[in-house]
Chains A and B, each alone.
Chain A
Amino acid sequence: MIRAGQGPSDGRPLAVYSKENGAYQLQGIDARASALGLTLAMSLADARAMQPKLEAVEADPEEDARALDNIAAWCERFTPIVVVDPPEGLFLDISGCAHLFGGEEKLRAEIVTRLQAQGFASRAAIAPTPGAAWAFARYRREPSPPQGGGGEDLAEALAALPVDALRLDPNAAALLRRLGLKTIGQILHAPRSSFTARAGENAMLRLDQALGRTREALTPRRPAPPVFALRRFLEPVFTADAVLQVTQDLCGDAIEKLDVRGAGVLRAELVLFGVDGRDRVIGVNASKPLREVKPLMRLFREKLSIVGENLDAQFGFEAARLDVVRLAALNERSRQLVSVEAAAANADALSAVVDVLSSRLGAKRVVRPQLHDEHAPERVAGWRAALAENKASKPVEPPADGVQRRPVRLFSPGQQIEVMASVPDGPPIRFRWRRVMREVVRAEGPERISGDWQKRERTRDYYRVEDKQGRRYWLYREGFYGETETQPRWYVHGLFA
């Protein structure tokens, strides 16, 4: 893909070539080259012979794919459902979006004009099916597509187009032409039974798809959000306040749509489309489905306040879209809790806090404790993101005597200590940790915890010890005395408070 303005400036014709069947062929030519009589699929040698001044560039399929994807990303300001159709095509599902742009034709014209302004020549057509749109964009002379386009109109409009418009591979199209079937109309009226073999079958499928008789599933560039709301602005939006206002409007739109479905938001993404062609995506997560604008806005306000300085709205934003990426059905109970009993349900208040904290600090930094059915001290307990929908930890009662067997803080890994004196197979009498000598006055143990032999972990003997000042440590000795030549090592694994 060559952007206008990147070609030769001295008025020479330009062509792009690539290697096909062992020879260099022209894959693309500009208007000047075309006027000089060069055609596609002409060999590079012939073209050079005809036009010695030809500027020829080798095709770069990877770069082309990247450029196409960039255009696709840019097109997401018109609809969230953009399908990349390599090597040079895009499908946009504009259902429900066209009215924002003053109608289908205005939307189509806007896309073409703005791509032109960016240096990309393009053809676009709107049709009820992807197949028909593909055909019209490539093979129809007049740009304006048929309006409405019911079955009969569509068939009629397609009939005049060559069979190549059916998205067939070149061999299949050539075969049909050899059979004398040059236009879609001829296939349309020919008896179906004669098309079962060879290329015909594919042609029939493509025909049915173009006419909407068979549904065609396309995979969008990004998964289509189940619910989205899109707004575009007459004037570019610059200020944070304006962005907030727009976000609030979009949240309102989306919540309204969700309300119909009886669902709430779990993850939403705000996409801001810059006039400069760059998008910014701001995502928020909720720990339980949100069905009101206010809590959703609270999350966005928080997130926007951080990204605020990075938004770089230098040229302003021209459109914004709110995608509800994940949603969950609301049961009646959660509806009630959020709206009516919100103030009363304290635990719910804190879970709303979780959403806000997670969106600013990051989900991994806002955590709930979790106990596992494991033996090793490092694995028996951990933390998980508080946002994640998960059953709450079961309440665990402290030991009946109130004496602590496990520390409130754990070092992982344990920190090695220097044991100055100890009785074999007993606790240390003095040890040095963090350069301070500590006199042990009380000790309880050992509590033997055998390591996972599969992980080659060694057995540990744990002691709870107290020093002269009352500080309490959770120490362990790795291995036994006499087990190896070297002295067993000692570690402090945690601190009792």
Chain B
Amino acid sequence: MSPRLASFSSPAGGGGAERSEAEGVSPANAGAAPSVSFADSSPAGGGARTFAGKLATMAGQPLHEIGPAGAGFEAAALGFTLALAASWAGPAGVLWAGEDAAFAEEGAPYPAGLAQYGLPLDRLIVARAKKREDALWAAEQALAASGAIVICALGAQGKPLDLKASRRLLLFAERYSSRCLLLMPENGPSAAWTRWRVAPAQSDAAPDELGLPAFRAELTRNRGGPAGAAFTVDWNAHERCFSERAVARALSAADTDGPVDPRRARAV
């Protein structure tokens, strides 16, 4: 498990190696990455048993789709996307392309907050496009920079994205060892490897405090294995890693009687 961890935290430069490794993982053992598994965190139907395991597989896959689990959860979907981007961002940086509609409704990206969220301000570029085609085009252009992490944010208006467009993103990302996070609300056909539906989760903190950004993320589509798993995760921007609540809790329970390294449950 430890060499695997090392490969995700290594930035995008080693994309090719990551990919072959990740694709080689069969659905059955994709979730077996952490050697510890816990009954309460394994979804029905097997597959990725922990979020860390799922994330490890995802890091090597070129295209992922993220959307809100319901109306009013757009900020959570964005947060989940940004967290993934921040955890993967290497020297090539992050490009956030979006159509105006995707930026207008929920407020403008705020650098002070993005920095606190763990995004590399010195390697972040935002491109706003008037039209959806231009946003997709901008994402494609950025994907051609090898190792780049590209967020492509689309608004709710207009036709659902066609399969051809998402396939193009996939091909670009595959070809240049870059990764694309497609942030869009609707459920259309898609070439993405995974599709996540994200809702916010309540703070895991003292009653009068707000805690880490928290999500309930459901894997509704999974090309490499079964879908349907849902995870409640906290994002630690400082460590640039997610921690899964169920795993963390089980670990802290186990901590008293077992030599389990809590870092094992973390996915970088």
Which of chain B's residues have a CB closer than 8 A to the CB of A88? none
Bound Cα distance from A355 to B237, whole angstroms = 30
Identify the interface centre among A356, A367, A397, A402: most chain B CB within 10 Å of its CB: A402
When distances are taken between beta carbons in the complex, the residues of chain B under 8 Å from A343 are 146
- List chain B residues, Cβ under 8 A from A464: 210
Q: Which residues of A contact B115 (CB under 8 A)?
A: 369, 371, 396, 398
Contact: B111 with A370, CB < 8 Å? yes
**Cβ-defined contact, B107 with A346, below 8 A:** no
- Given the complex, which residues of A lie within 8 Å of B120, measured CB to CB? 395
Shortest beta-carbon distance from A365 to chain B in Å: 5
Q: How many angstroms from the CA of A371 to the CA of B119 in the assembled complex?
A: 14
Q: Let me know if B254 is at the binding interface, CB within 8 A.
A: no
Bound-state Cα–Cα, A412 to B118, Å: 23
| A402-B236, A408-B78, A441-B202 known; A395-B109 Cβ under 8 A | no
CB B248 to nearest CB in A, in angstroms, measures: 13
Contact between B199 and A403 (Cβ–Cβ < 8 Å)?
Answer: no
Q: Which of A346, A354, A397, A408 contacts B12 (CB 8 A)?
A: A346
Tell me how far the C-beta of A456 lies from the nearest C-beta in chain B, rounded to whole angstroms: 24
Tell me, rounded to whole Å, the shortest Cβ–Cβ distance linking B121 to chain A: 4
The count of chain A contact residues (Cβ–Cβ below 8 Å) is 63
Asked whether A409 lies within 8 Å of B113 as measured between CB atoms, the reply is yes
- Closest A residue by C-beta to B110: A410
B148 an interface residue at 8 Å Cβ cutoff?
Answer: yes
Please determine whether B111 and A383 come into contact, CB atoms closer than 8 angstroms: yes
| CB pair A404 B122 closer than 8 Å | no
Taking a contact as CB atoms under 8 Å apart, the answer to whether B79 and A402 are in contact is no
| CB pair A350 B211 closer than 8 Å | no
Q: Is A340 an interface residue (CB 8 A)?
A: no
Interchain CB contact under 8 A, A396 and B239? no
Q: Is the CB of B128 within 8 A of A346?
A: no
Q: Quick one: which of A349, A386, A393, A411 has the most chain B CB within 10 A?
A: A349
Of residues 461 through 489 on chain A, the ones whose CB sits less than 8 Å from some CB of chain B are 464-466, 468-472
> Is there a chain B Cβ closer than 8 Å to A444's Cβ?
yes
Using CB atoms, name the residue of chain B closest to A349: B145
Does B171 sit at the interface, judged by CB under 8 A?
no
- Nearest CB of chain B from residue A355's CB, rounded to whole Å: 10
Residue pair B75, A495 in contact (C-beta under 8 Å): yes
| Cα distance A442–B208 in the bound complex, in angstroms | 6
**Cα separation A392 to B93 with both chains bound (whole Å):** 13
Choice from B72, B113, B216 contacting A406 with Cβ under 8 Å: B113
A residues less than 8 Å from B75 (CB atoms): 408-409, 471-472, 495-497
Cβ contacts under 8 Å, A400 to chain B: 238
Measured in the bound complex, the distance between the Cα atoms of B143 and A356 in whole Å is: 13
User: Is A397 touching B238 in the complex (CB atoms < 8 A)?
Assistant: yes
Residue pair A401, B238 in contact (C-beta under 8 Å): yes
- CB of B154 within 8 A of chain A? no
**A349 and B144 alpha carbons, distance in the complex (Å):** 8
Closest chain-B Cβ to A337's Cβ sits at a distance in Å of: 14
Residue of B nearest to A497 (CB): B79
User: How many chain B residues touch the partner (CB < 8 A)?
Assistant: 69
Q: Is the CB of B125 within 8 A of A442?
A: no
- Alpha-carbon distance A150/B114, docked complex (angstroms): 68
Whether B60 sits at the interface, judged by CB under 8 Å, is no
Minimum C-beta distance from A345 to chain B (A): 8
Beta-carbon contacts under 8 Å, A302-354 to B: 343, 346-347, 349-350, 352-354
Stretch from A116-124, A222-230, A374-382 that touches the partner: A374-382
Q: How far is the CA of A343 from the CA of B113 in the complex (A)?
A: 32
A497 near B121 with CB under 8 A, answer: no
Contact for B106 among A393, A399, A409, CB less than 8 A: A409
Contact residues in A for B125 (Cβ distance below 8 Å) = 350, 353-354, 366-368, 386
- The yes or no answer to A77 lying at the interface (CB within 8 A) is no
B203 at the interface (CB under 8 A from A): yes
Q: Is B22 an interface residue (CB 8 A)?
A: no
Give chain B interface residues in 92-121, CB to chain A under 8 Å.
92-93, 95, 106-118, 120-121
**With contacts A346-B90, A472-B210 known, is A404 near B113, CB below 8 A?**
yes
Q: Which residues of A contact B205 (CB under 8 A)?
A: 403, 442
Across-interface contacts of A289 in B (CB, < 8 A): none
* A390–B62 CA distance with the chains assembled, in angstroms: 32
User: Which B residues lie within 8 Å of A294 (CB)?
Assistant: none
Q: Which residues of A contact B113 (CB under 8 A)?
A: 404, 406-410, 494, 496
Which one of A392, A394, A442 lies within 8 Å of B203 (CB-CB)? A442
Looking at the assembled complex, report how far the CB atom of B20 sits from the nearest CB atom of chain A, in whole angstroms. 20
In the complex, A251 Cα to B103 Cα: how many Å? 37
| CB under 8 Å from chain A, chain B span 200-241 | 200-203, 205, 207-214, 216, 235-239
B132 to chain A, nearest CB (A): 13
Contacts of B12 in A (CB 8 A): 346
CB-CB under 8 A from B268, the residues of chain A are none
Q: How far, in whole Å, are A350 and B176 apart by their CA atoms in the complex?
A: 12
Q: Whose C-beta in chain A lies nearest to the C-beta of B148?
A: A350
Taking a contact as CB atoms under 8 Å apart, the answer to whether B200 and A470 are in contact is: yes
Residues of A contacting B116 with CB < 8 Å? Answer: 396, 398-399, 404-406
Q: A357-B141, A406-B116 are in contact. List 6 more A-B contacts (CB 8 A).
A: A371-B121, A394-B121, A408-B113, A469-B73, A494-B113, A497-B79
**Chain B contact residues, CB within 8 Å of chain A:** 12-13, 72-73, 75-76, 78-80, 82, 90-93, 95, 106-118, 120-130, 134, 137-138, 141-142, 144-148, 199-203, 205, 207-214, 216, 235-239
A-B CB contact pairs (8 Å), 23 listed: A349-B147, A350-B142, A354-B125, A357-B127, A357-B141, A357-B142, A366-B125, A367-B126, A367-B128, A368-B126, A394-B121, A398-B238, A400-B238, A402-B239, A403-B205, A403-B209, A407-B113, A410-B108, A411-B107, A444-B210, A470-B214, A470-B216, A497-B78
**Closest 6 A/B residue pairs (Cβ):** A497-B79, A369-B111, A470-B200, A346-B92, A409-B107, A349-B145
